[in-house]
Amino acid sequence: MERVAFDAVEPGPCTGAATARHLSDALDADTVAINHYSIASDERVSGLHAHGDQEEIFVVLDGTATIETLDGVVQLESSEVLRFPPGEYQSVRNEHAEPVELLAIGAPPESEDVRIPLPCPDCGHEFRRPSVTESGPVLQCPACGAQEAATCSNCGGESLYAVLGPNGGPVSSCSECGAMEEQ
């Protein structure tokens, strides 16, 4: 048996004012990923993405999490649980005044198949994969191999996310300047 308090684990990398505590190592868990997120008002944990090879479960411990999917937005309340099968797109954010405390559980623990729901401009494939090259972040098409810099055309920022746009479909959004563009 392994036991750990959330605060005993140092926060790891996350976006904005959100904090992530990766609990799997502290619990010696090798078949499941367990992460605790504290999400401040108007912050997000991720942009729209899917894991083609990982099931994810979100448990809201406190507050109300806003979950974006390609089918729309879901408000997940305290003490509620939501499951995403492999391949289903989702994003977690907090659009409320109170902070959100959330557990994210994924199995298997490592995902090798991360998908961003932005179609390839060259061949039209339905998604691309994020990666980092020597020249910076890129989105790469798994079908034709085309790569496009994942930088904001407005400000040059490298903090882009796929989010639901005004038309309800996925768009690229810059967290630095707020610009949105269809991809």
138 with 177, same domain: the answer is: yes
Q: Which of 107, 126, 159 is the last residue of a domain?
A: 107
123 with 101, same domain: the answer is: no
| pTM summary value | 0.90
pLDDT digit string (tens) for the chain, length 183 residues: 999 999 999 998 777 778 999 999 999 999 999 999 999 999 999 999 999 999 999 999 999 999 999 999 999 999 999 999 999 999 999 999 999 999 999 999 999 999 999 999 999 999 999 998 898 889 999 999 999 988 888 998 888 889 998 888 899 998 888 899 876
Residue 1: inside a domain: no
99 with 12, same domain: the answer is: yes
Structure tokens at 6: 């959330």
Residues of the domain holding 16: 6-107
148 with 93, same domain: the answer is: no
